[in-house]
Amino acid sequence: MIRAEGVGLRYAGDGEMAAVTPDGEAPEVLRGLSFSVPGGGWRWLLGPSGAGKSSLLRLLHVAARPTSGRLNLMGVDVGGARRHDLPPLRRRIGMVYQDFRLLSHLSVFDNVALPLRLAGRAEGQLRADVTEMLRWVGLSKVAAMRPPLLSGGEQQRAAIARAVIVRPLLLLADEPTGNLDDIQAERLMVLLQEMNRLGTTVIVATHNMQLVDRHPGQALELARGRLVRDA
């Protein structure tokens, strides 16, 4: 599923993630990461703020390419793949952001339907799947509402529904409980574990150790861009 061999990441260019060291070179935010995650596996992604968790998730979500080493996702060499090979790969990966990133100009229904539409699913065929997904996450009654009108928990569930509607092989979550109270956080964990039980590989980045203690599992721990634990 995931195989990383000496993976490093250095932000360059004029993007918002770019920064340069005094010698004019962009700093390497990830260095020499080597690990593998089998299909259907579960990994916590741990480490303090600034350790590189979000950067590793960006790599795994193909929002960035490794600047060194080799990263293989579902049989695709991310570093060497052609540009037009990446969108199909991204469609097999679900991503849950801490800030949800729901599109505020669309209804909850349309937000959840987005990945299906991008995959070319006909309008007549996607309605049943989206309706079922909204029922599964408990958002049937707010399907026509726009995200800014929802509570934080509802937005998070909408974001999860959008991430899993295409039944991804890999599900990534970046601090998914950061904006939720304990009860909503537990509900979210149940959803993620259910996806994992159905065969989806799940990687959850968090610094909430209480959450990890309640749901023990294998972990990748980062510190200053290096992998310090894989167990």
What is the binding site for another protein (CB under 8 A)? Answer: 13, 15, 61-65, 83-84, 86-91, 95, 101, 103, 105-110, 113-115, 117-119, 122-123, 126-127, 130-131, 134, 140-141, 143-144, 162
Nearer to another protein, 12 or 190 (CB): 12
Q: Which is nearer to another protein, 141 or 224 (CB)?
A: 141
Q: How far is the CB of 116 from another protein (least distance, A)?
A: 10
Give strand ranges (E) for the chain: 2-10, 28-37, 42-46, 68-73, 76-77, 93-96, 170-174, 201-205, 219-223, 226-230
Smaller CB distance to another protein: residue 118 or 190?
A: 118
* Closer by beta carbon to another protein, 179 or else 193: 179
Work out how close the CB of 26 gets to another protein at its nearest, in angstroms, rounded to a whole number: 15
Strands across the sheet containing 76-77: 28-37, 2-10, 68-73, 76-77
Write the CB contacts of 133 (distance below 8 Å, at least 6 apart in sequence).
Answer: 112, 161, 164, 165
Tokens of 95: 């991503």
Query: By C-beta, is 60 or 195 nearer to another protein?
Result: 60
- What percentage of the chain's residues is helix, strand, coil (to nearest 5)? 35, 25, 40
Taking the least distance from each CB to another protein, the nearer of 18 and 20 is 18
Please identify, using beta-carbon distances, which residue of 25 and 85 lies nearer to another protein: 85
d(CA 44, CA 31): 19
DSSP 3-state of 60: helix
Distance CA 163, CA 167 (A): 8
> Closest approach of Cβ 173 to another protein, in Å?
14
Neighbouring-strand partners of residue 33: 7
Cβ 185 vs Cβ 211: under 8 Å: yes
- Find the shortest distance in angstroms from Cβ 170 to another protein: 13
Nearest approach in angstroms of CB 228 to another protein is 27
As to burial, measured by CB atoms within 10 angstroms (0-12 exposed, 13-18 middle, 19+ buried), residue 138 is middle
Minimum CB separation of residue 140 from another protein in Å reads 5
Smallest distance, another protein to C-beta of residue 201, A: 17
Cβ atoms of 116 and 130 closer than 8 Å: yes
